[in-house]
Structure 1
């Protein structure tokens, strides 16, 4: 394929390239998909429970829902019903996001099991998370400051973060490969960030927006694909050493668009930053990689109608900045 191809799958043209869309409606629509699926499972399993729509599903609700589906597919009805109950019981009041540290104590057992299960599903099965032991308070302060700066720069972006994300968990190093930050479709509403004393406040700002952007894009993929390239087709990516499928390139492209936006806004802030040189370097590096990714996708992507629309909106957003 030497050019992008557009296929119309009937997706509403919502521009997610910035935070300027109806955030509350979008999140409610995504949660409604889970509610309807849980209603169906309750009916099919004969469970004497109801979805409490006065509350919202937490990331634990999504995690247990996916374990329920997996168990039912294996015809383990008893275990499936258990995870269905767990999903329903982890709906929560509409509160602001929480920040916590990963500790292997009894109170965190369920969270750790879901996180480790999700990491095991990763293709190389070698990524781990460690507990936060040293410099716990200092890294939490940096993360809190990063959240305050995001709100000062863009209250609507902070609202988007609060709407999509239930919890940010700080993780530590492990003996093997460990994550710098992560989000998952199966654990919708959770962000993991590695707490390292070398991390700057800008590191936390960038990685919060990075993972939030993945989560936002997951809502689009709940309805339709963005590209139709086969998963086995791999491309050289400017931001990683390994070859990436087109879906991975699309996610990176979308994430970089939003990171460029926040880094640009930080440069125009009316308060002083102690990481200005770092910000400028990160901005220029991300812009370069964005345009390299743009060219690869423009040449090779088989877009759906919505996928092409959002691709073009991201390009427009970055052109307006650069």
Structure 2
């Protein structure tokens, strides 16, 4: 498939199907490898889970992480961890009623909240804690408002987001310093978008919209990177990035550029729908400027595959058109 930089439901469906197939194939493989150390009942339950998951085309960041952890446990010969991981699999809900999970132990299968609690990206890691149950309605209302704005301005982007993201996990953290994380994506939990409850309070709806588009764009690019490396630079190389203090990998800068392109295009459409929307204008100008900073680093130092070069150059062409006021 020739990957596109544009929001695309068809591309997201292709990527999601690829992830689902690999995910369940990996589960079948680790189940085979661990056959001798597992109870026959849990083997039977996992076999049934795989069968149902294939029928429902199920995927989840939870399952992705469990399988990753099983792989590490096999390597470390940790039988206890292998048992812990496999026992969680039958508890996963193959047909969830909603994509939004408010991070509280009552909303997850027993043991899953703590198992899933550490989040990592290429710079930060943190652990989440229980969200107060009484905050759930405000969180859901804020998300609904943000999703409606996205749908009204760019329905194809909305459809892509709903397809590529398995679950939006709303988290709470005790961290209250300059490094507070408002949202996140973790390659070890591919399919899950993490959003901090602090931005789901209705105070700044555009900030929430930004983070939904931001993290969903990461999910698209992470999924593409399971099929094409995109960035070939060694991760030991570090370069300045406009979205983070300190230096960052080229992979991280490429991700930042792709995300900034997506957000810029969205706010450009928002401004076109209402030229008097000063908040949208500020968001647009900031994201365009930061994209150009990232693109400059990528152009000078990036070692990319053909697909990686085509995607980022196409993004830049559209950003240039926005700057020229013709897109």
TM-score (norm 1): 0.84
Q: Note if contact 1:61-1:88 (Cα within 8 Å) is conserved in structure 2.
A: no
* Counterparts of residues 178-193 of structure 1 (less than 5 Å): 178-193=180-195
Mapped contact 2:213–2:262 kept (Cα < 8 A): yes
Report the counterpart of residue 137 of structure 1 in structure 2: 137
The residue correspondences of 1:1-322 to structure 2 (distance < 5 A) are 12-19=1-8, 21-46=10-35, 47-48=43-44, 49-50=46-47, 51-52=50-51, 53-55=54-56, 56-77=58-79, 79-84=81-86, 86-87=88-89, 89-90=91-92, 92-93=94-95, 97-105=98-106, 107=108, 110-119=111-120, 125=125, 127-133=126-132, 136-177=136-177, 178-196=180-198, 197=201, 199-269=203-273, 276-322=277-323
Alpha-carbon RMSD across the aligned residues, in angstroms, is 2.7
Q: Deviations along 1:129-154, whole A, 9 cap, x unmatched?
A: 34434755334312110111112222
Q: Give the unaligned 5+ runs of structure 1.
A: 1-11
What secondary structure, in the 3-state scheme, does the structure 1 residue paired with 2:145 have?
A: helix
Q: How far apart are the structure 1 equivalents of 2:139 and 2:107?
A: 23
Q: Which is further off, 168-177 or 103-112?
A: 103-112
More helix by proportion, 1 or 2?
Answer: 2
Alpha-carbon separation, structure 1, partners of 2:124 and 2:192: 21
Give SS of 1:92's match. Answer: coil
Contact 1:16-1:216 within 8 A present in 2 as well: no
Change (3 A) 1:281 1:156: same
- Mapped contact 1:171–1:192 kept (Cα < 8 A): yes
Q: What is the rounded CA distance, in whole Å, between the counterparts of 1:96 and 1:156 in structure 2? A: 22
Kindly indicate whether the alpha-carbon contact (under 8 Å) linking 2:184 and 2:195 is maintained by their aligned counterparts in 1. Answer: yes
Counterpart CA distance in 2 for 1:188 and 1:116 is 15
Q: Is the 8 A contact 1:235 1:244 kept in 2?
A: yes
Q: Aligned residue pairs: how many? A: 305
Separation of aligned partners in 2, 1:283 and 1:124 = 26
The structure-2 alpha-carbon separation of the partners of 1:319 and 1:84, relative to structure 1 and needing over 3 Å to count, comes to farther
Structure-2 change in CA distance of 1:27 and 1:175 (3 Å): closer
Q: Which has the higher contact order (CA 8 A, sep 6+)?
A: 1
The answer as to whether partners of 1:97 and 1:166 remain within 8 angstroms in 2 is no
Residue 118 of structure 1: SS of its match in structure 2? strand
SS in 1 for 2:317: helix
Checking the alignment, whether the CA contact within 8 Å between 2:185 and 2:194 is kept in structure 1 is yes
Look up the match of 2:39.
Answer: none
Say if 1:253 and 1:290, in contact at 8 Å, map to a contact too: yes
Larger displacement relative to structure 2 (218-227 or 205-214): 218-227
Equivalents in 1 of 2:124, 2:208: separation in Å?
26
Gaps of 5+ in 2: 36-42
Q: Render the CA deviation track for 1:74-116: whole Å, top value 9, x for unaligned.
A: 11245325424534652613x6742232235484654432432
